[in-house]
Structure 1
Amino acid sequence: MTVLLTRGAEVSGRVITDNPDLLTRFDSVSLGGEFQQPFVTNVLSGSVTNNGFFTISGVLPGNYLAWIEYHEPANIYVKSMRLDGVDARDGFRIEGPSPRQMEIVLGDAGGALDGAVLNDKLAPSAATVVLVPNGSLRRRSTAYKVAVADPVGRFQLQAIAPGDYKLFAWVDVEANAWLDAEFLRTYEERGFPISVGEGTKASVRVTAIPFTPATLSASVTTPCGIK
């Protein structure tokens, strides 16, 4: 039997930000399979130096997404990500062992949302609040923002990249169920469309979605409104 060994590519590059102090908060740049999420362990990573450089070795052929791991919270978001000069935010493909160059530009003025979750009787409700991106960014778990509303229904979401989203609040939902396209399609019309700009702040009221069999056939109503 003949075993063929494939030498992986080296992806190197730099993280760029207008605020150099942010670079000390980053741990690494990571790559995972196109439909893989960052909480999965079998990913490839490269440490980010204090001047923003990183190298990831042994990247085998396949489709990938990239994201940044950091150890201190910051109001940052990815403004652009390019691999060999081509937009890579929605994913990219590695074909062979040739070296690749990546540039990640970060913004430090993400948007913010806060608000309250109410039940259908307008009483405060605990819930899992999820801000879901539109379009191809739904493949990136890092593009979602999640908060758990406190007992009086209050929640906050920060470091939101500018763009168009839908906001959902589930009373009872399995962790990361919203990453399943089929699950999300069931509730699509109950999401409230909202646009987030750089550095903008907004307050919202969200009507909680009960996770019951009846919900699947219930009539759809607008779940929230901006105050």
Structure 2
Amino acid sequence: MYEFTVGWATSAGPVSGHTTVEVRGVDLERDLEVRPNKRLTGRVVLEEEDKEPLPLANIDTTLLSGPVMPANAAYRSLSQSNGTFVIDGVPEGTYPVWFRDLPPDAYVASATEGAHDILTQPLRVSGETELAVFVRRDGGIVEGVVTDSRGKNIPDAVVALVPDGLAREEVNRYRKAVTDSNGAFTIQGITPGSYHLFAWPELEGAAYRNAAFMRRYEGKGEPVHFGRGDQLTVRLKLADN
């Protein structure tokens, strides 16, 4: 199975098209329709109890072309001082939306395009698109230390907070930290919900987001649950032990 994308600039703006074909040892001929690329706009605001929403600047909104890896960041924009952002030239298609550079204690509480929840499902871009993004600063906090099987604290270990169940499809729930020289770590801004904590002495990239990689560690993580503002302390063993 192969995916083909074409695009070029015109006097009226960029156009593009996309198709998927399966090659079975014979010549193929396929028509590919190109359409004008789209504009995506939105606004990021801070939602607090009994207060008017406040705009948030410098929040990174990224449309991904595949799994949640920096290399798959296809289109992105930073919010301005009034919380608004614009991403131009987006081809029609489906994109997971990744929000980054939030305040340390914050998480995205809701993000919608019309009635469509883009935290639990990818965003479908087929026309002019507007997002409404609400952030809260009462995220959960977990702190602790990572040890090996002998109880020795492990510096520079990678700690990953991985959501449970269907929430593993939600790119914005994952969190990562690296232990200090004493094996201690802190993770803030955790969206309310159920998770497992895992630790490795070293880990390449964001492998903890890969379902096939994580299958070998099922049952080895530390289960944790967070409500708004919850704070937990754990003693975490290396997943490879």
TM-score normalised by structure 2 residue count: 0.76
User: Structure 2 stretches of 5 or more lacking a match?
Assistant: 1-30
Return the alpha-carbon distance in structure 1 between the equivalents of residues 188 and 125 of structure 2.
Answer: 36
1:18 aligned partner: 47
Return the alpha-carbon distance in structure 2 between the equivalents of residues 13 and 111 of structure 1.
Answer: 26
User: Do the aligned residues in 2 keep the contact of 1:65 with 1:90 (CA within 8 Å)?
Assistant: no
Partner deviation per Cα, 1:136-161 (whole Å, 9 max, x = no partner): 33234442111111232211111111
Provide the aligned length of Structure 1 versus Structure 2.
207
The percent identity for this pair of structures is 29
User: Do the aligned residues in 2 keep the contact of 1:38 with 1:141 (CA within 8 Å)?
Assistant: no
User: Do the aligned residues in 2 keep the contact of 1:28 with 1:54 (CA within 8 Å)?
Assistant: no
User: Do the aligned residues in 1 keep the contact of 2:141 with 2:230 (CA within 8 Å)?
Assistant: yes
Query: How far did residue 115 of structure 1 move?
Result: 0.5
Alignment of 1:21-170 (within 5 A): 23-24=56-57, 26-33=58-65, 35-37=66-68, 39-40=70-71, 42-70=73-101, 73-94=103-124, 96=126, 98-126=127-155, 127-170=157-200
Return the alpha-carbon distance in structure 1 between the equivalents of residues 124 and 226 of structure 2.
Answer: 32
Return the alpha-carbon distance in structure 1 between the equivalents of residues 194 and 68 of structure 2.
Answer: 21
Return the alpha-carbon distance in structure 1 between the equivalents of residues 84 and 168 of structure 2.
Answer: 28
Return the alpha-carbon distance in structure 2 between the equivalents of residues 182 and 148 of structure 1.
Answer: 23
Query: How far did residue 5 of structure 1 move?
Result: 3.6
Query: How far did residue 83 of structure 1 move?
Result: 1.0
Letter in 1 for 2:62: S
User: Do the aligned residues in 2 keep the contact of 1:167 with 1:194 (CA within 8 Å)?
Assistant: yes
Return the alpha-carbon distance in structure 1 between the equivalents of residues 47 and 185 of structure 2.
Answer: 29
2:3 aligned partner: none
Give the number of the structure with larger relative contact order, counting CA–CA contacts within 8 Å between residues 6 or more apart.
Answer: 1
Letter in 1 for 2:153: P
The DSSP-based 3-state class of the residue aligned with 1:187 is coil
Return the alpha-carbon distance in structure 2 between the equivalents of residues 118 and 42 of structure 1.
Answer: 34
Partner deviation per Cα, 1:50-87 (whole Å, 9 max, x = no partner): 121222222212221113343x7431101011112211
Question: Normalized per residue, which structure has more helix?
Answer: 1
The DSSP-based 3-state class of the residue aligned with 1:31 is strand
Query: How far did residue 37 of structure 1 move?
Result: 2.1
Query: How far did residue 111 of structure 1 move?
Result: 0.9
Question: Closer, same or farther in 2 for the Cα pair 1:17/1:170, shift >3 Å?
Answer: same
Residue 35 of structure 2 is aligned to residue 6 of structure 1: yes
User: Do the aligned residues in 2 keep the contact of 1:83 with 1:100 (CA within 8 Å)?
Assistant: yes
Residue 230 of structure 2 is aligned to residue 196 of structure 1: no
TM-score normalised by structure 1 residue count: 0.80
